[in-house]
Structure 1
Amino acid sequence: MVSVCNTCKSLQKHLRSLDGGVQETDAASVVWVATTLPNLRRSTDGGCRACALLLQGILLHHDRFAGVTENNIRITAESFDSSGPVHGENAQDHLSVEVRWQKLHDGCCDGEGGEHDHEEGYPDLKLEFFTDQDDQSPFSAIGRGRHISENLLQDAGLSTARAMIKDCLSRHSSCRHQKPTTLPRRVLDVLLDDGSKGVRLHEADFDNDEQRYEYGEYLTLSHCWGSGKSVLKTTNKTLQAHKKNIPWSALPASFQDAVALTRSLGFRWLWIDSLCIIQDAVLEKHEASLHIDRIFGNSFLTIAATSAAESTEGLFLPKPQLFKIQATDSKGSLYKIFVREQPSHYSFKASFDEGAHMNDWELPFNSSSEANLHTPLLKRAWAYAERLVSPRVLHFTKSEMILECREGYNCECGRIEDSRFDSRTTDSVKQEFARIVSQNGTHGDMANGSSSSNSDKRIDSMASQLAATSLADVAHDSILQRGEALQLWSYIITEYSARDLTYDVDRLSAIVGVAKMLSETLKSGYIAGHWTFNTLGLLWYPKDGARTRRPKGSPNNHIDIPSWAWASIEGSPIFFDNSTAMDLACSASFPSERGRDLTWSPTSGDTLELTAAMATEVSLQIDPTNEYSLVKNGISVEFRPDVSPLRGEDSVSAGETLICVLVSMTFRSSIIGLVLKQSESNAQLYRRVGRFECYECQREGSGDEPDDAESLFQHWFPEVEDMGAIDDGPQRTFIVV
């Protein structure tokens, strides 16, 4: 008679049907264990070798749940059908063990190993038990798994990287360069023939200030500068020396690893910002910032030091420990089982329903403290833009390599896009961005920048292209594509504004490359981060006004960002309202576009002329807790300013008059508008101090139920008798700076 463990069915596939207890969740998954840690201990004490193996592997990670009451620790063990998307020599038959100790959900295990519903959300700890590719296991539920490289250049990791890149090139047409690629003005030559390990700075020839383009494939490095003290830089003083030789010992660890990887992959050229841009040449730095779409978009591969907070840390950081456990079968034969924490995929995944559309995401996508801790590069604004415009990015994280390209992801563990192993949604903004851009062919033309015409070489080439575009040309574009591009832009700005910048002056510069690649679809003027055709784009708002401030300039770097632009706010993610149920006859125009040409002013501001049929003076009220409201005719609505408390140029005292401009009524049955403050120095000018959204309005001093938002029209605008005729009524124009 075979003795079968009720807790785990002895992790034997041929025994799983005995006495029930093993759940066939679907055709590709089997849940073997659904219990608590104390119950697993009891089963181990009862002599179950399989439970003993699970317990040992879990306790090897005890530091992760130290101090947690063991009765609150739940264990689930699950195996997968290896005949799915991952098959052949790359098949994975590991056992996945989830450990949870956070708040218990409804339907979780009862501690006795009975019926167990899968709990929502990613587990607090996820382990995998597996054998080497050719090794045997005493438990048929534990099969082979994948090893993850410790050092890319010292083991099979280089083959894995090459295989992922080869797979991308062979299957993804949008990831391939359609034209010969041009080298940036300066690149590092990593294949010196002098026998040293050093590199030199290669500079393209110039004739009468015109660059003679050179062609070739190169790699780029995306990295955190950290404090900046450890970053090796090229300056006017060191330029000539760097063109001769940069000693290996002078390169910080991340640079050394990037150079070694470039050589190992068979490339000669590598671009690193701190070395390939003269750091004390202000104009050159500004020009380079406007061309990251070319520099990174033209790169064969961007190497990302994703888990390194400083350039001294290197690419190949220590991985979570891989444990080896000796297990025995019923005859006492020894076997080797590996246990490790499953790669979490960090900021690339978030706990939404599998395949959820971006409209259903909670933004920013995954801003958890754990994700930010393990992937500091992904918290940087410059790196976010570099990541979007690059054809493919090879991320080096604390757990594995992850290849992110224009059509998807790949990773060393092979599971990032396999819902059997990780059902969370994968961040697809880069892929959506690539899809929209490719509809206009701008991967090959704008990003490559391979044209030899003079206009393409000038810093104002984008301005030249847009100035030749008439507003009437927009009629030939697809309305659907334009709407998708605008929606995507709002997601990108929310993510971008949630990330950190060392210098406020870079606020608009770092996103220019992304805007350039979308401009062919949007066919719009672009001023200080705003697409001029889109009045609703002015209805941005910070997620948390209590954490915001206006950008700071410096004696050498004046920041010219108007108050109406989203980039005039630092410290909080910026959100947008892109849909409206009713236009309240409000329009925006820019003096620079009066000639009907589209303006391209990516890093500086302009005055905005806001013309509205429904604009009125209101009084500001401030309660003792700094809650704000706007009042007229005894009717008040809540107001959240862009900067709270109101201070500096936004300073407004209680009782002062503000201008409230109604812009639209939304499908949420709310009314949205802008709140303006008259300039103290020029009565003809106004500054934006915030946006308001009215869901209901309250009569002051009344205990009655609030009225709905639509009643605001009759309370604040009693003179408007026919809302359907507001377009033909009187209008007011405000010049907003």
Structure 2
Amino acid sequence: MRCTYCLGLNIQKLIDYAEVEFSGWYVPKVSFYQHHPSIHELEKSADGGCDLCALMIHAFKTSKTDDHRYYASEDSDLLSAIKDWTETSSIRISIQASHIYTATPLEGTLMLDLLQISAGEYKETSSDPDESYLQEPPTVFLQLLTPLDLSLKLGRYDIGRFKTDIDLGSESNVLIAKDWIETCSNHHQGCPSPDPTSFPTRVVDVGTSDDAKCRLLIPEPGFISRYLALSHCWGGPIENVLVKKTLAEFQVCIDWDDLEANFQDAVTITRSLGLRYLWIDCLCIVQDDFDDWAAESKKMADIYRNAFVTISAMSSPVSSHGIFQTPIEVENGPPPAVDICLSGDNRTTVSVAAFSQGDKSKAEDLRLLYMYSPICLRGWCLQEAVLSPRILHYGVSQIYWKCCRGFQSADGALPGNLFPENEFYPALSSVLYSDLARDGDSSTIAPLNKRMLMDEFYELVNQYTKRKLSYWKDKLPAFSGLAQKMHTAIGGIYLAGIWSKDIRRGLCWQKEMSWARHASTYQAPSWSWASTNDLVNFTNPDSFADNENLTLVGSDVELVNENNPYGAVSSGYIIVRGLTMALWRTLGTISQTELELTTDLGAAMWDEPMFEGDSLGITMRHVCEVVDEETGDQSFFVEGVEAEYRDMLEATVTGLEDIEAKGYTVLLVSKANPSEEDQREGGYCIILEKETEEDVYRRVGFLSLSPYPLTRFEGWKTETLKII
């Protein structure tokens, strides 16, 4: 028996309240639907048989207090915490939209798909008006859902998202995927042609029926057909892969039982979409043949670029896990969904449901999958995602789509908060798909913007360094497809991850976290971002001075395989000419007077710690200048520490007195443009450590100089250095 409060509730009434007061993800202060006067009355109604009250109680009960930092940690869940209050806990209901960002007004909202249930009122956090702010009441959410074949609207608003089938291989999900593919292939003018311009060396032929045998196909020269590609995490060794011994055997039959679960599901997807050919790396590249691996990895860019659709096993951490997954059932699962009316004068209803994993914070969306899913943490998979024109993503609870026109999800979510940002690279797309323009019409591909292309390159490097590789020796190979496709447009020489045409910005990478330790096993020259497995970012070139401060005189990179100029390297050097200054790295303390005089000089971003146990301490380490008293020119830099930091180190680290000062060379890569407020120049430098060989150096850090008197650069020395 539904309670009086729930009987009086409908969606139109909530929209009327929202038109008086609405702000994305905020609880309204004055305009809401007043429900039961307390959490206790709500629970009593739920126990008495009100199905909608029961859903609300379930939402409060499955929301842990950890998600609401202002509640008692000893309570096991949010419901218990609220019931222990002495404050009012009146239940108030409003409507919200999951696709919008915080504080978005109602005018920016197109779909309303959440019931927002709060308990209590806003309250002041402090009696001091200067320190106090209004704290929101505890809030939980319920979903508004409609069947896949039913779209509901009230005025200009879509109401609810579609209820999806958690069986990702179901016929309904296949129909959704087919619709996305057909729409993109036949109607998206901004997307490249679905017809390939080349075909892989080998593919898996999955046959034309569900009971057909799979086999390895080595096509005749000139053979062209649409094919799918699989992007997946190996997650460790795979037992049955293509090797020299099985090459002939696989061309006859690849036994179904020998296929990993991911591959079986990929075959099933290929067949269900009406395709016959599937490319899987470990079944189409001879894994124990170095020459074949080198040759095929060089083709990786074209393999994914030409794929009709790439299947992304997004949530599968290992090959044996499977693409078709079932969400984990939570203990004491949610009550069944219930219906409420759209308005008071008609019987059209929308379903109200709890989130399958309890709290909304545990619900799946593509934005979070792009941040945390297994495939988005793996290095090889970045270029696979960027190079693929069409991707069919498989999450845990639903399927998703990406093409040049944007994202879609099976539940019909709208663009915004539920989809990732900055995952499209228009300049790179113009390079990738210029020869795949629909019907030869190049107007469907955006014109090339070289400056934007370079910005996208450095953004991709930053994203790439956030990912892991099973074998760090693949640092450059796993990025080679992107570099290969960009090279013609950028020009110059590709030097182990940086471009000769943009040498200044390429050298100006720095650590993003505590350190950028250089790999113990050689991966790249010290001046390349590929020399570290830690996160790096790059200096914004907008602040670079127009004049060329550093000149590339010469370079050489030794490749592991001469057939792949973008792959692994065994050694390399650059010879550059520029301004230099000496720098001493010390643990000496800086006086307050020195600190006041030099605090704006800059900060040294060392790649590696000075000693074991060294902490970051950038804010307590400062670069000071030592000036020749006779000439007024700068003689050298000294990095010292504040006395407080030295005392802290001595209390936690032994043997500091044995750590001697060490000398380095600072190489100016680029001066920085003066600002309107400050007509002095700053600068961006790399810090070099001298090798035993004369004039041969190794990069050990980055130095950013704050606004710096022009005359001081006169004390710097012009040198030609070889950096390895």
Report the TM-score, using the length of structure 2 for normalisation.
0.71
Q: CA deviation at 1:570?
A: 0.9
Q: Deviations over 1:701-728 (max 9, x none)?
A: xxxxxxxx414x656x4547xxxxxxxx
Q: CA deviation at 1:396?
A: 0.5
Percent identity over the alignment? 21
Q: CA deviation at 1:313?
A: 1.4
Q: Is the 8 A contact 1:218 1:271 kept in 2?
A: yes
Aligned partner of 2:471 in structure 1 is 503
Aligned mates of 1:658, 1:528 — CA distance in 2: 24
Q: Is the 8 A contact 1:225 1:310 kept in 2?
A: yes
Mapping 1:408-423, distance limit 5 Å:
408-417=406-415, 419=416, 422=417
Aligned partner of 2:269 in structure 1 is 261
Aligned mates of 2:286, 2:395 — CA distance in 1: 29
Q: CA deviation at 1:391?
A: 1.0
The question of 1:562 aligning with 2:525 is answered yes
Mapping 1:391-410, distance limit 5 Å:
391-410=389-408
Q: Say which SS state the counterpart of residue 241 (structure 1) adopts.
A: helix
Aligned mates of 1:673, 1:273 — CA distance in 2: 41
The question of 1:78 aligning with 2:95 is answered yes
Q: Is the 8 A contact 1:307 1:377 kept in 2?
A: yes
Q: Is the 8 A contact 2:524 2:531 kept in 1?
A: yes
The question of 1:661 aligning with 2:667 is answered yes
Q: Cα–Cα, structure 1 residues 39 and 21, in superposed 2: closer, same or farther, change >3 Å?
A: farther
Aligned partner of 1:390 in structure 2 is 388
Aligned partner of 1:316 in structure 2 is 324
Q: Cα–Cα, structure 1 residues 611 and 38, in superposed 2: closer, same or farther, change >3 Å?
A: farther
Q: Is the 8 A contact 1:663 1:674 kept in 2?
A: yes
Aligned mates of 2:605, 2:98 — CA distance in 1: 53
Correspondent of 1:619 among 580, 584, 595: 584
Aligned partner of 1:96 in structure 2 is 114
Q: Say which SS state the counterpart of residue 349 (structure 1) adopts.
A: helix
Q: Cα–Cα, structure 1 residues 637 and 250, in superposed 2: closer, same or farther, change >3 Å?
A: same
Q: Deviations over 1:381-418 (max 9, x none)?
A: 1111100001111111113111111221111011141x
Paired amino acid for 1:309: P
Q: Is the 8 A contact 1:529 1:567 kept in 2?
A: yes
Aligned partner of 2:550 in structure 1 is 586
Q: Deviations over 1:593-617 (max 9, x none)?
A: 9xxxxx95553353211211x3122
Aligned partner of 1:672 in structure 2 is 684
Mapping 1:574-723, distance limit 5 Å:
574-582=537-545, 583=547, 585-591=549-555, 602-604=567-569, 606-612=572-578, 614-622=579-587, 638-645=603-610, 654-666=660-672, 670-680=682-692, 682-695=693-706, 709-711=707-709, 717=713, 719=715
Q: Is the 8 A contact 1:610 1:734 kept in 2?
A: yes
Q: Deviations over 1:77-108 (max 9, x none)?
A: 415799xxxxxxxxx9864035799xx99999
Aligned mates of 2:45, 2:63 — CA distance in 1: 22
Q: Is the 8 A contact 2:696 2:723 kept in 1?
A: yes
Q: CA deviation at 1:294?
A: 0.7
Q: CA deviation at 1:524?
A: 2.9
Q: Is the 8 A contact 1:218 1:301 kept in 2?
A: yes
Q: Is the 8 A contact 2:364 2:397 kept in 1?
A: no
Paired amino acid for 2:483: A
Aligned partner of 1:349 in structure 2 is 367
Q: Is the 8 A contact 2:228 2:308 kept in 1?
A: yes
Q: CA deviation at 1:124?
A: 9.3
Aligned partner of 1:700 in structure 2 is none
Paired amino acid for 1:308: S
Aligned mates of 1:53, 1:133 — CA distance in 2: 25
Aligned mates of 2:19, 2:610 — CA distance in 1: 58
Q: Cα–Cα, structure 1 residues 107 and 128, in superposed 2: closer, same or farther, change >3 Å?
A: farther
Q: CA deviation at 1:686?
A: 0.8
Q: CA deviation at 1:187?
A: 0.5
Q: Is the 8 A contact 1:343 1:399 kept in 2?
A: no
Mapping 1:252-331, distance limit 5 Å:
252-319=260-327, 324-326=336-338
Q: Say which SS state the counterpart of residue 606 (structure 1) adopts.
A: strand
Q: Deviations over 1:49-73 (max 9, x none)?
A: 6861551451474468644433699
Q: Cα–Cα, structure 1 residues 609 and 504, in superposed 2: closer, same or farther, change >3 Å?
A: same
Q: Is the 8 A contact 1:385 1:513 kept in 2?
A: yes
Q: CA deviation at 1:692?
A: 1.0
Correspondent of 1:428 among 373, 398, 422: 422
Report the TM-score, using the length of structure 1 for normalisation.
0.69
Paired amino acid for 1:587: T
Aligned mates of 2:222, 2:670 — CA distance in 1: 50
Aligned mates of 1:520, 1:106 — CA distance in 2: 61
Q: Is the 8 A contact 2:61 2:77 kept in 1?
A: no
Q: CA deviation at 1:317?
A: 1.0
Aligned mates of 1:81, 1:344 — CA distance in 2: 14
Paired amino acid for 1:407: R
Paired amino acid for 1:588: L
Aligned mates of 2:231, 2:169 — CA distance in 1: 19
Aligned mates of 1:160, 1:136 — CA distance in 2: 15
Q: CA deviation at 1:283?
A: 1.9
Mapping 1:139-288, distance limit 5 Å:
145-177=161-193, 180-191=196-207, 196-205=211-220, 212-228=221-237, 230=238, 232-288=240-296
Paired amino acid for 2:573: T
Aligned partner of 1:736 in structure 2 is 723
Number of equivalent positions = 600
Q: Is the 8 A contact 1:545 1:640 kept in 2?
A: no
Correspondent of 1:542 among 508, 511, 536: 511
Q: CA deviation at 1:320?
A: 6.5
Aligned mates of 2:285, 2:550 — CA distance in 1: 44
Q: Cα–Cα, structure 1 residues 312 and 560, in superposed 2: closer, same or farther, change >3 Å?
A: closer
Q: CA deviation at 1:618?
A: 2.1
Paired amino acid for 1:268: R
Q: Deviations over 1:528-552 (max 9, x none)?
A: 0101111222100121243x43234
The question of 1:58 aligning with 2:59 is answered yes
Aligned mates of 2:608, 2:146 — CA distance in 1: 56
Q: Is the 8 A contact 1:35 1:76 kept in 2?
A: yes
Q: CA deviation at 1:172?
A: 2.3
Q: Say which SS state the counterpart of residue 324 (structure 1) adopts.
A: coil
Q: Is the 8 A contact 1:323 1:340 kept in 2?
A: no
Aligned partner of 2:144 in structure 1 is 129
Paired amino acid for 1:441: S
Q: CA deviation at 1:46?
A: 7.2
Q: Deviations over 1:579-599 (max 9, x none)?
A: 324247222243459xxxxx9
Paired amino acid for 1:55: M
Aligned mates of 2:93, 2:552 — CA distance in 1: 57
Aligned mates of 2:140, 2:531 — CA distance in 1: 41
Aligned partner of 1:437 in structure 2 is 431
Q: Deviations over 1:315-342 (max 9, x none)?
A: 1111366752456999xx9997543357
Q: Say which SS state the counterpart of residue 254 (structure 2) adopts.
A: coil
Q: Deviations over 1:469-508 (max 9, x none)?
A: xxxxxxxx99x81111111111100001110111111101
Q: Cα–Cα, structure 1 residues 671 and 403, in superposed 2: closer, same or farther, change >3 Å?
A: same
Q: CA deviation at 1:150?
A: 2.0
Q: CA deviation at 1:34?
A: 8.2
Aligned mates of 2:611, 2:37 — CA distance in 1: 55
Aligned mates of 1:154, 1:635 — CA distance in 2: 62
Q: Is the 8 A contact 2:367 2:419 kept in 1?
A: yes
Structure 2 residues not aligned, in runs of 5+: 68-75, 100-109, 126-132, 439-445, 558-563, 613-657, 676-680
Paired amino acid for 1:167: T
Q: Cα–Cα, structure 1 residues 335 and 40, in superposed 2: closer, same or farther, change >3 Å?
A: farther
The question of 1:530 aligning with 2:494 is answered no
Q: CA deviation at 1:578?
A: 2.6
Aligned mates of 1:328, 1:348 — CA distance in 2: 28
